[in-house]
Structure 1
Amino acid sequence: MFLERQWSGPLVPDCSLCRRDTDSGRRAAEGTAEAERLELEAAQTRAEAARVAAAAARREEETDRREGDRAAARRRTATDDQEAERLELAAAKTRAERLRIEAESEASEDYLRLSPREQGRNRALWQGVDLSMNDTVAVALVTGGSTLLASATSGWLAMRAVGRQAALQLRTAREDRVESRAAGQREIRRELYRRFLQQATDAAKCVFALRPSTQLAREEFEPAARQAREAIGELSAVEALIMLEGPQEMTDAAEKVINALRYEHSAARALHLDKGSKQWQSYEEAFAQRIQSLRDLATSARAALGADISTS
């Protein structure tokens, strides 16, 4: 009777082990899914980095090509300047030679207007022969010598005046070419500075969109941060052109702007992950540094465009 009372109840299976196995399987599946998601994000990040690197390489190739075209244009300009100077010098020599020939022609005409006898006496005098002459012949010789001397003096003065005029024209043409070259270089710098300022402003807007007050979720923050990073990368390509055109003050100002944007981007990401007091202080410093760097950039651009541009 005691045994029947002890085992008379129904047999109930213990399900605690089943629940533990089910929870472990679910956690393992969730861990596998999370690992696959992280691997997918890492692959997407690597693909994005490869795309950005390829875009940067294309921009560098385009920059090299433009610089090669600019150097070829400068070489052609220098060759044209040398050819123009050579032609101007040749023209000045031609004008001087023409004046000399005209002076000799006038002297020859004065000599031919003399009678054959007077011409013979003149040749004899030039050869050191002592011939008797009357007063008329002496007057004719004096008159012819005076005329010849006046013609030679006039020719020399005219040739000197032509030489001065040619030198003045050559100097004026050279100064005009220098001014034109300086104006062209100033225009190139103005357009390059305007482009950098515009892209710097756009990049600053993208970085400012990461500020804590926007309260972006993680799925919203990452695309915005990637867009800001790409904008900063495109700005670096324009910085390379500024390094080529100069001056050094403008190159330093552009570098400070890019460093300030990167600093603010990193500070915004750190503050998004941890809103501690240290992160807040870093973000405020980065924000102020970015504002000041843009102001310094504008000041340096105005100074570079207002100063004299060397064309050497």
Structure 2
Amino acid sequence: MGAIVHVVAGALIDAKDRVLLAQRHADAHQGGLWEFPGGKLEPGEAPADGLRRELDEELGIDMVAHRPLIRVTHHYPDRSVLLDVHLVTEWRGDVVGREGQPLAWSARNALDGYAMPAADVPIVKALQLPSVYLITPPSVGKADRFLASLDNALQAGIRLVQLRLFDIVDAPLEDIGTAVVQRCDAYGARVLFNGDPQLARRIGAHGVHLSGRRLYEEPASGTQRHGLLAASCHSPKDLQQAARIGADFAVLSPVLPTRSHPDQEPLGWETFAQWVEAAQLPVFALGGMQPSFTELAWQKGAQGVAGIRGIWSDEPAG
């Protein structure tokens, strides 16, 4: 099929948190579809330099602030592409279609309404996810204290939560799950339930998080695609399986040593980066993480960081 075509693209975010899309010319590859502005890297060109050049040529702007969002390799029948996508949050100049291409500003949650090349689907998912994924402790303990800690996290800006509880079942689990979802709804946060998909529906969860074991159960552990689907991964094979079943994102662990699994060999950031390079979906770094590691995680190809102890606090607010 030939060499992989390295393409840089920018997801421009304006002051209203809208994303810029450009429509491909009808006679181009994937013509008529909407995409994120960008183009092929020139030989020897660094991705940031190539993106700056492409945004100037296509939109007439000078890129000022950006950071890595996601890298996606996709194989079309006639070619393979590596999309190197950056989130662009600041630029100089007014955005115009200098090549006559139609432009559109879209809310992040409306991006699914635009017909895009298949390679762009993981980019849309990455844009619709936050940079921090909170995993609850596995034990409730005292319900009021548990919910107070959740409130603290939501007030601090957490907008994606995995509800993962092992010390209660049946009615008590459904009760606490319902309370968690109600609190998250009030903040516009989404909850993924790690457990029975039917219970996830009953508590009003926004999706399901599959354990490493359930990742290989078909079809997708009976989720029938209720909302978001995420998966716990520990190997490149797991990441491939997560993409195969259509998961929206994955967590890959353990990146660093953890107190909960002191005997488990950590991947380290370099192995993490190598495995994520080939992934076909957004991946959070898990294991020894805390919010201060987010920028490092971005540089290693991650969507962001996921964790319990580094994010969840049992201390009362104030």
TM-score, length of structure 1 as denominator length: 0.22
- Which structure dedicates a bigger proportion of its chain to strand? 2
TM-score, length of structure 2 as denominator length: 0.21
- Which structure dedicates a bigger proportion of its chain to helix? 1
| Structure possessing the higher radius of gyration over alpha carbons | 1
